[in-house]
Amino acid sequence: MVKKMKKHWFLFEELVKRDFKKKYTRTVLGMVWSLLSPLLQLLVMSLVFTQFFGRNTPHYTIYLFCGNLLLGYFKESTKGGMNALVQNASIFTKVNIPKYMFLLSKNVSALINFGLTLIIFFLFVLADGLLPTWKYIFLLYPIACLIVFNIGTGLVLSAMNVFFRDIAYLYDIFVMLLTYVSAIFYRIDGYSEQVQMIFHVNPIFCYIKYFRLIVIDNVIPSPTLHGLCLFYALVMTLVGAWTYKHYNQKFLYYV
């Protein structure tokens, strides 16, 4: 894989540039939307949910921002990855290049947007009176796990979307459901321990919880949470890699 990436590195760079520029084509604000969009979402959610869920939650704005930040990155990365093969069929049906390059370019583009939003997030953290500590270095761990998890999810979705175009519509419903079960705007403290354990079946919740523990509570997460974050990332990547390897030769007949 590394050798193939080196061989086609120029093409990969051009794909990343294309995907990033394409997102803001014919927009007045351009890249500013990378920062403005999550901030507007945060503003709306703050206005709607603060009175219902945020009265007894310290640093509720940051609590919301953590959830929006990671869920937003997951959605952009996986939705882009899902369409990677279908949108680039005209290229790989004519040129023999690794098909996963199209998916990786979508992920890099989403990662750039995530990095820009992350800068704004830290500014909000400072404005809310939460001073950064040495423990912030641990934030690299859930970010790395989420990157790997997103790639694995994208591999599966992009393959499924080639054979079943209904996946795009079903995935929108799934993402909406994921928003409500990831504790974006509410806390799970009021539930029983058994119910709280069920939340950890959701990988996105685990990554969000890790972020909140470091930033808001200034606590290093437990080894169990570390293990779950890594487990979900590795399992999803293995499933995605197997899916691509198994169906690689069939993609050409369905796009």
What pLDDT, in 10s, does the model give residues 148-166?
999 999 999 988 888 887 8
pTM metric for this prediction: 0.86
Provide the residue count of the chain. 255
Q: What is the pLDDT of residues 29-74, one digit of tens each?
A: 556 666 666 777 777 767 666 666 666 778 888 999 899 999 999 9
Q: What is the pLDDT of residues 214-247, one digit of tens each?
A: 999 999 999 999 999 999 999 999 999 898 888 7
Q: What is the pLDDT of residues 160-213, one digit of tens each?
A: 888 887 888 899 899 999 999 998 888 888 888 899 999 999 999 999 999 999
In contact, 66 and 208? CB cutoff 8 Å: yes
Tokens of 91: 């290229």
Q: What is the pLDDT of residue 103?
A: 83
Q: What is the pLDDT of residues 96-107, one digit of tens each?
A: 777 777 788 888
Tokens of 253: 């007949």
Q: What is the pLDDT of residues 116-131, one digit of tens each?
A: 889 889 988 998 889 8
Q: What is the pLDDT of residue 199?
A: 93
Helix intervals (H) in the chain: 2-7, 9-23, 32-53, 60-82, 84-87, 89-92, 100-127, 140-163, 167-181, 193-199, 203-215, 223-247, 251-254
**Can you spell out the DSSP letters for 149-193?**
HHHHHHHHHHHHHHH-TTHHHHHHHHHHHHHHHTTSSS-STTS-H
Q: What is the pLDDT of residue 102?
A: 78
